[in-house]
């Protein structure tokens, strides 16, 4: 990702303190075209503010605009509403930090954009297989905002509607299609006939599904409340930091809670890639300094060939 940024940053006049690695971490899953759009948008934002060089804040604003849409400056919020949104978003961030399989946090914002009053950005984990545990962790993270409202505000709001919709759809998918229910295990009720007006299960089974969905969601909601209660001091600090800054990053969360207990799949793959790249560069540097002869591989191959010929001759004798 860093190399892609370097290609698109060449035509721009950049601030000397710009950290390209930091920019790459803020754009998980972006294609080359997306990154080109970020660079162009950042240049336009810098020009609107009559800046001579494009700096870090211009790029952050560009990423927010591309992902979340235009900032709704006409949306005026009271201090109470702003605090409620900060507590809600801090709830998502806290739960995702302390659940092993939740997507790694990138940033949290309470700046209104599009239809959203706040949002949390995550590094998408492109897993080949989804386990039940990973899906439950994601569900728990989605319910973290509503749980935080109930615990730390004392009332709930409509701010969790999108979270509840996603959670409910995921729970029904796990039970009806993936066979991840205690009472309906290893059964898939998928019906691929789009013109059928009849469900491939009985009313009794439908009632069992509804009960299992309710049970699964309530269990994860109670789990979210338990995690938030255990880390309520850190959550309060996080919410206040959001109120003060409006946008915070994973590094800010790490300062409050400490390093995340688990390494994400994306981080493991990135570390392996970086190690391989470092080993390759070290080997090339060693060859340049003459520490490794250029023909060392050839000589090794010829030595192996000679040894095999000798073994063949001894076998003939």
Q: Which residues are catalytic?
A: 89
Locate all alpha helices (DSSP H) within the chain, ordered by sequence.
2-9, 20-25, 32-48, 56-68, 79-97, 132-142, 144-152, 161-176, 203-230, 232-245, 250-257, 265-288, 296-316
Specify whether the CB–CB gap between 104 and 267 falls below 8 A. yes
Q: Environment class of residue 34 by beta-carbon count within 10 Å: exposed (0-12), middle (13-18) or buried (19+)?
A: middle
CA-CA distance, 17 to 30, in Å (whole number)?
23
What are the residues whose beta carbons fall under 8 Å from the beta carbon of 83, sequence distance 6 or more? Answer: 239, 243
Q: Minimal CA–CA distance to 217: which of 149, 98, 136, 150?
A: 136
Q: How many CB atoms lie within 10 A of CB 184?
A: 17
Per this entry, what is the length of the chain? 317
SS3 assignment, position 133: helix
Cα first-last separation, the chain: 59
CA-CA distance, 67 to 116, in Å (whole number)?
11
Tokens of 54: 């494009």
Tokens of 269: 């793959």
CA-CA distance, 267 to 281, in Å (whole number)?
21
What are the residues whose beta carbons fall under 8 Å from the beta carbon of 34, sequence distance 6 or more? Answer: 27, 66
Tokens of 109: 């914002």
CA-CA distance, 226 to 61, in Å (whole number)?
35
């Amino acid at each position: 990702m860093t190399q892609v940024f370097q290609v698109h940053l060449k035509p721009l006049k950049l601030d000397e303190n710009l950290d390209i690695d930091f920019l790459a971490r803020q754009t998980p899953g972006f294609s080359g075209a997306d990154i080109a759009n970020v660079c162009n948008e950042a240049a336009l934002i810098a020009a609107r503010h009559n800046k001579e060089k494009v700096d870090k804040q211009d790029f952050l604003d560009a990423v927010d605009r591309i992902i979340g849409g235009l900032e709704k400056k006409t949306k005026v919020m009271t201090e109470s509403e702003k605090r409620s949104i900060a507590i809600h978003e801090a709830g998502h961030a806290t739960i995702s930090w302390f659940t092993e399989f939740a997507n790694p946090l990138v940033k949290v914002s309470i700046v209104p954009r599009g239809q959203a009053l706040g949002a949390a950005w995550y590094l998408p984990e492109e897993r080949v297989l989804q386990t039940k545990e990973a899906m439950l962790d994601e569900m728990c993270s989605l319910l973290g905002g509503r749980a935080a409202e109930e615990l730390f505000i004392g009332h709930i709001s409509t701010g969790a509607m999108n979270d509840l919709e996603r959670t409910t759809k995921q729970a029904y998918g796990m039970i009806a299609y993936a066979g991840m229910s205690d009472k309906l295990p290893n059964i898939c009720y998928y019906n691929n006939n789009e013109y059928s007006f009849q469900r491939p299960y009985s009313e009794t089974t439908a009632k069992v599904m509804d009960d299992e969905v309710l049970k699964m969601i309530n269990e994860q909601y109670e789990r979210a409340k338990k995690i938030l209660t255990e880390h309520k001091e850190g959550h309060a600090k996080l919410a206040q930091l959001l109120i003060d800054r409006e946008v915070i990053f994973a590094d800010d969360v790490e300062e409050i809670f400490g390093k995340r207990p688990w390494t994400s799949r994306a981080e493991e793959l990135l570390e392996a890639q970086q190690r391989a790249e470092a080993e390759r560069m070290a080997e090339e540097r060693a060859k340049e300094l003459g520490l490794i002869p250029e023909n060392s591989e050839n000589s090794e191959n010829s030595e192996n060939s000679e040894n095999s010929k000798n073994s063949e001759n001894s076998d003939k004798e």
